[in-house]
Structure 1
Amino acid sequence: MAYYAFQVGLVILITCIVLLSLGVPISVSMGVGAVLAIFVVLAPDKVAVTSAQRIYTGINSFSLLAIPFFILSGSIMNNGGIAKKLINFAKTLIGSIPGALALTNVVGNMFFGAISGSGVAAAAAIGGVVGPLEKEENYDPAYSAAVNIASAPCGMLIPPSNTFIVYSLASGGASIAALFVAGYIPGILWGLTCMIIAYIGAKKLGYKPSPISGVKAKFKTFIEAIPALFLIVIIVGGILGGIFTPTEASCVSVVYALILSACYRTLTLKDLYRVFLESAKTTGMIIFMIGVSAILSWIMSFTKIPTLIASSLMGVTDNKVLIMLMINTIMLFMGCVMDPTPAILIFTPIFLPIAQGLGYNVIHFGVIMVFNFCIGTITPPVGPILFTGCKVANLKIENVIRRLLPYFAAEVVLLLVVTFIPEISLLIPKLLGLM
């Protein structure tokens, strides 16, 4: 079986490298590589049937319905004027300190991420509103862009999170509710870390405190933000209270977002058509990725590649700390060259059994994995949030990277803390009886 595993791995690797170098999308490259690999172990007449069966099995999951609805909800929020109200509220929370607008950007990304579940949407929506305000106050554009980019991934950790839904599927059914609440503390710590670094940077650049709003103005921004913030209560509270499932919560979020946008009168029928079209395209890409990843997972499982990788890691050392450091290093590297969704689908079947063998809980490892790939979203060469943030700020990546270095270092340290202190992830799920 080791011989077949080597052949299968070689076929997948070579096919993906060749196709990606030709500019073929990663989902198609993975799918073609996986199908070609099946020829190594099955008769040619069974390859098409097996591939089709695996795709159908991979996407035939009720919980996957939550993904298109959360994507649609986030898109409606992004286009419905919600970001501005959240930013105004975040400004009142920050108060008058150096770099207040940058810190407002961080808090805004945390709020918007908790509503939309998308780091890219947060970087575009919040960065698009705060950026011009920072420009008016003569903030360094690279500093502002770095703060926006570094803090946007909070939305992938703070629920609702599409990445946790994908991980639940890839892990064989880990509780989505438990994963959602497990991301709260790591997501908040990510945001606080960004705020500390942004504040230090603001002090060094000599930014002065912003004027303090009056009590009346603060109260007004809070009242205006309540409807948007209430969506978080509805989604998370409804799931934890057993009122509805995560999938049903995603549908509720769409209805609520539509009603809210109608009340704000910021979304026209023409906008709505574009929102639905964009959401459908994004959903199609993700579902197709999940389908072809099911083929890849099957062929790897059939040839026992995860078992061989586990044996290889255990052969290097039996030290749990070193093994987890190696796993984190691999995921960090792969996160730099892959989007989070395919990375989670590919590496969960490989690394989850190893982590469980070391005594790691499936929920805790899910947070570790998502945290790794969150870092990947802000690092070149792929980094979707990095590219989005630079596009919003109208800057080249090379102009922003230097400003991002302190954030990279701090988030890697925080990743190690999350990895080796399980209670950071498991405290809330345990308190709520989800574990």
Structure 2
Amino acid sequence: MSLALTLCLATVFLLAGIGTPVSFSMIIGAIVYLAVSGQDLALAGEQIIQGFYNSFILLAVPLFIVAANIMNAGSITDRLLKFCVAMVGHFRGGLGHVNIVSSLIFSGMSGSAVADAAGVGRVIINMMTKDGRYPPSYAAAITAASATIGPIIPPSIPMVIYALVSDTSVGYLFMAGLLPGLLMGAVLMAFNAYMATKLDIPKEPKTPTKEIPGITLRALPTLMMPGILLFGIYGGITTPTEAAAVAAAYALILSVIYRSISFKQLYHALKESAYSSASVGLVIGSALIFNYIIATENVPTAIAQWIGASDFSPLAFLLMVNLIYLGLGFLLDATTVILVIVPLFIPACRELGIDLVHFGVVTVVNLMIGLITPPYGVLLFVINGTTKIPLAGIVKQVVPFIFVLLAALLVMILSPDLVLAIPRMMGYQG
């Protein structure tokens, strides 16, 4: 490791350790590297400009954020929840199942775990805790756990970013997330049913059969949104970026038709989207500089050569990388890991013959689990901030859900055919 890279990393860790945002820490560390190595400091700006200019797909990120915020501002989520209650609310642990199923459906619209937790999650937590039905900390924990499904079932903001750094197809990544997302939902529902029996939670009244068609009809435009997006992408009608624009427009049209969003709410949704997009953009921009440094230092090639010399099997490598991801999940957000750490492993994956679509899905699932892992679990803080449920109680209740999701992740690691089944049906050759 060169002196310049050593000082760069030391600067990043020092600044991040004293509470400086990771993006700022990385930018300052990159400037230190360029200065010490005698390179033009203007390279930092050049890497950011070229990186954004050459990455049309990145436009999908703010557009999906806009779509999610508009849906949360309108009554779209209310119609979705009523439909989920009618379908699964009457089973043991019914509102917990509603929580999970609503996340499965909402994930097909927003692609964001935080949007799921802050929008649908906040409403369903109020439903679960009303009249003491569920302990507040359990309701918060299952909401956080189910929100991790958001970026697995398409569309997915993290998968868009992974596609950028790995040069893989966004479309095939989206399709590969379908079965893993359903698997995550299934294991969470099984665990919720067990906990409902253990906590002796009474069943909810069953929705009268005659009301189900009307509830379904009112929710149908919302339920159609994932299908419209996937048909647009796989029918060759839209690119993933254009599909994100369609998602934002469709969410706005539905909100106007339902008369559920005012100009003030729309302004607030757009303002929040701008803030979130700028925050993500800062991380992406800093990662673009950092990736230039890593490439200059030839780090990915060195790692690939080390993997080859160490005679790792593909499975051993996948297990090792996932342990690294779990460790990084304690400290870093998913976007930073995908942009900075994942590119280091891509050459090794190619060297070992690991399919990059499979690797991408496993990576995103692992990093989503990191969103509910203390001490950096972003979803835990989001739910704590929106509901005021004590963080300590949420952390205690979420631990079993983490292990359940890790079991699902292990199945995905061991079964690449499960992950790649739908992409292969759509013509993927991997």
2: CA distance between counterparts of 1:322 and 1:253?
39
2: CA distance between counterparts of 1:135 and 1:324?
40
Count of matched residue pairs: 427
CA 1:318 to 1:117, structure 2 compared with 1: closer, same or farther past 3 Å?
Answer: closer
Query: Within 5 A, what are the aligned runs for 1:11-410?
Result: 11-41=7-37, 43=38, 46-60=39-53, 61-138=55-132, 139-171=134-166, 173-314=167-308, 318-410=312-404
SS of structure 2 residue aligned to 1:154: coil
CA 1:185 to 1:9, structure 2 compared with 1: closer, same or farther past 3 Å?
Answer: farther
Q: Deviations over 1:316-365 (max 9, x none)?
A: 55233322211111111112211111110012210111122221111111
Asked if structure 2 preserves the Cα contact closer than 8 Å seen for 1:127 and 1:393, the reply is no
Question: What TM-score does the superposition give when structure 1 sets the normalisation length?
Answer: 0.94
Where does structure 1 lack aligned partners over 5 or more consecutive residues?
A: none
1: CA distance between counterparts of 2:116 and 2:18?
31
Following superposition, the deviation at residue 314 of structure 1 comes to 4.9
2: CA distance between counterparts of 1:128 and 1:383?
17
1: CA distance between counterparts of 2:124 and 2:211?
18
2: CA distance between counterparts of 1:75 and 1:65?
16
CA 1:322 to 1:8, structure 2 compared with 1: closer, same or farther past 3 Å?
Answer: farther
Q: Which amino acid aligns with 1:144?
A: A
Following superposition, the deviation at residue 307 of structure 1 comes to 2.5
Following superposition, the deviation at residue 276 of structure 1 comes to 1.0
Asked if structure 2 preserves the Cα contact closer than 8 Å seen for 1:168 and 1:174, the reply is yes
Question: What TM-score does the superposition give when structure 2 sets the normalisation length?
Answer: 0.96
Q: Deviations over 1:113-168 (max 9, x none)?
A: 21111111111212221122212242111111111111101111011111111111
2: CA distance between counterparts of 1:230 and 1:320?
39
2: CA distance between counterparts of 1:8 and 1:408?
39
Q: Which 10-residue stretch deviates more, 206-215 or 135-144?
A: 135-144
2: CA distance between counterparts of 1:31 and 1:420?
37
Asked if structure 2 preserves the Cα contact closer than 8 Å seen for 1:178 and 1:434, the reply is yes
SS of structure 2 residue aligned to 1:47: coil
1: CA distance between counterparts of 2:111 and 2:314?
32
SS of structure 2 residue aligned to 1:378: coil
1: CA distance between counterparts of 2:414 and 2:112?
26
Following superposition, the deviation at residue 313 of structure 1 comes to 4.6
Following superposition, the deviation at residue 72 of structure 1 comes to 0.5
Q: Which amino acid aligns with 1:383?
A: G
Q: Deviations over 1:160-190 (max 9, x none)?
A: 111111111111x211111111111111111
2: CA distance between counterparts of 1:415 and 1:37?
37
SS of structure 1 residue aligned to 2:116: helix
Asked if structure 1 preserves the Cα contact closer than 8 Å seen for 2:313 and 2:352, the reply is no
Following superposition, the deviation at residue 198 of structure 1 comes to 1.0
Where does structure 2 lack aligned partners over 5 or more consecutive residues?
A: none
